[in-house]
A and B are shown apart, each in its own frame.
Chain A
């Protein structure tokens, strides 16, 4: 490690709760070297964000206090410095960027002015010089037309550009250390690769030291020099990334690495399922030239523009009984709309969808009756997917009663069976979603899907909101259920690695169209389309020697660099 810049020793943070104090950060020590990128890895609740907030005493709640320890920067202890000193450190020495640029940028202020504001206050220069410096920073963080884009408001930019703007705001005070708190979690994978690339470039050009907080070991492997693994406020291990990833000391780190979807072990766990049942079997789902269009709302009278927005444009797809098909694509690719259309939840504009031989368009009543009893959906946000007022038992009982799939007196027994099936203790029947963890809620959501005795389950980004170790458990559960219940599974995800582990066949969508489809191993080994190649190349692999391919410039499917998404709707 190079010369130490920041040194954290025995840092403890305590929360003064109603039921007495709780230690959230426990005796944490680490160093940050000059020009180094340190990865702070952990799952939700590990205290990784709080650690970084504590460095500059930016506590999210007044009930949180630094109980002991020191944070040394240039021979000063930041935990004991007076408030005015710490304010000078914030931004000037230690800058921060956050996960959600939309809420951290001022919606009422031009992005250029937001950058200039920091320059004026920290460097004490006049408005004109600040503006010039801000334009320079805009160019550095990758705005192609700084002069024009200086005047844009945050909402006029795409998510990736907003994150660039926030990096620009942080750089405005010319810090030596940049703390990046999950800076790419809200972004699509190709954009994520660009932002990570930008951070690495800035490290080179400015000699920045970076603390990168993330839940994704792949990102750490690709961008960091050293890794610190946190769990429940404790530092489990810290070291060179090759050492930690190659020879993890702590069992939790081993589990974390093993859970990463890009791990060879997890891919090996994929058992190529039985040959698609009987060769001449009828497809369970048949989609033929499907179009789904939505009316554009909020369109002003005079601005012209299209009246409709095409979410799905001419998609054809067949799914055989017992198959597991993955649908991948970035946000806005139309994958969720496709799922909703085939379940009869979104009106079809054109084309046909048939479920088990019943056409949703021509024989709507019959097809819907079939769909409601033989198909079910699992959702992304496990808390949003369950009615917060109902216990899990009441929720399942209602489904069973409405569907009349089991006689009334059998309902309690059936609820027990369903909970067993998804690996939940039976006492969960009496609990409400808010008292359960995300993974438990997701299991309850799967139990609800199973309550209809489905032939088909459509899982829409159902592990995206979960921690990696939980993700792995849910994927395993799906694999297990598929075997035991002979399910057909349509697995929608933006995370290609997960699809690769679970699915036999993969369909890649882009802007409402299928750009590539085929057996999973073939598509991943030799993607035909440039978009698929970029998508696969942008997945942060946990192997540090497999470099991150950042699709920069030239690729017409990456609109990111085109900058300003104009205000006209």
Chain B
């Protein structure tokens, strides 16, 4: 069972990365020209507020000490207040996690539902008409800008067919899922093009590879060759690809949430940038980064569960 030993110490390896994330988010805000206290407080900068924030973040101290105060505040779950919403940044973000998380999860599931059958179909008819069609569609689809694809889906499904809502998020679970269908479909369509290409390549390599040859040489039917040997061996690189693409996926949600006015973290980030709400920008960037690290950790566990060769 030593295979899973890394679950214990892998988080230790993430420490330098987490440290780096905090350093970058810290530097980002300090790079803004002007008095940091005024920058952080925006238009609300009364002399007393400025003095308070100076004290809290040690803004008149040397920069390395400021970073130390920043970490100290962070350790206490204190990331400052939003100028726009006038509440704690972390509390604000907490209210925005659900839509984003639901969107990412449903998009990943949907993209797998689209990609796995299509990639299998293409790989098994390698060179045939089905393969050509799938390849053409995935190559073409990779260039669809998510924001534009979202609008096209709205024109078709919401305006023409009146099937789905144009924007917003619901109250009940069913209502929320209903509102998530088009946004999730937008991201899933984009993501599945990447997945199809990668899966198809991996499957074709496996189908032509030594492993499949050996299985056929002992008379295994093509279905066993494919499902027992080719499929698991092709999924390993695809899981890694998904993990690598999680950052890209989150980028997609930022845009798509803005198009559909979904009250998630992405929409929050864009609004914060426009209203110069830097504390929120800093907080959202940091939470997104930590989420990415977490996803990679989960991908590691899944990979180890599938592939006994990996043991780190």
Contacts and interface: CB of A to CB of B under 8 A. Distances in A.
Tell me, yes or no, whether A and B come into direct contact in the complex with CB atoms closer than 8 A. yes
Interface of A: 56, 58, 60, 62, 87-92, 95-96, 98, 100, 103-109, 117-118, 121-122, 153, 155-156, 166, 169-170, 172-173, 298, 300-303, 567-568
A164 B218 CA distance: 16
Contacts of A567: 2, 311
Contacts of A173: 218-219
Interface size class of B (residues with CB under 8 A): 20 to 34
A90 B308 contact: no
B306 interface: yes
B218 A98 contact: no
B307 A90 contact: no
B228 A90 contact: no
Contacts of B12: 301
Contacts, number: 96
Given A96-B214, A156-B308, A303-B5, 19 more contacts: A58-B213, A90-B218, A95-B217, A96-B218, A104-B210, A104-B213, A105-B211, A106-B211, A107-B309, A108-B236, A108-B307, A117-B220, A117-B228, A118-B219, A121-B221, A155-B308, A173-B219, A298-B312, A300-B6
Given A300-B312, A302-B9, A303-B2, A91 B213 contact: no
Contacts of A301: 9, 12
How would you classify the secondary structure of chain A's contact residues: helix, strand, loop or mixed?
loop
Contact of A153 (B127, B218, B236, B309): B309
Interface of B: 2, 5-6, 8-9, 12, 127, 209-211, 213-221, 224, 228-229, 232-233, 236, 306-309, 311-312
List the 3 shortest-distance A-B pairs measured between CB atoms, nearest first. A91-B218, A91-B219, A90-B219
Give the residue among B211, B219, B220, B232 with the most A Cβ atoms within 10 A.
B219
B216 A58 contact: yes
Contacts of B232: 108
A185 B309 CA distance: 24
Given A172-B218, A173-B218, A300-B312, A121 B233 contact: no
A107 B219 contact: no
B105 to A, nearest CB: 26
Given A103-B210, A108-B308, A95 B218 contact: yes
Contact of B210 (A98, A121, A172): A98
B311 A98 contact: no
Contact of B229 (A96, A106, A302): A106
Nearest to B232: A108
B312 A104 contact: no
Contacts of B229: 106, 109
Given A96-B214, A103-B210, A108-B233, A122 B5 contact: no
Nearest to B307: A108
Contacts of B312: 298, 300
Given A58-B213, A108-B232, A568 B2 contact: yes
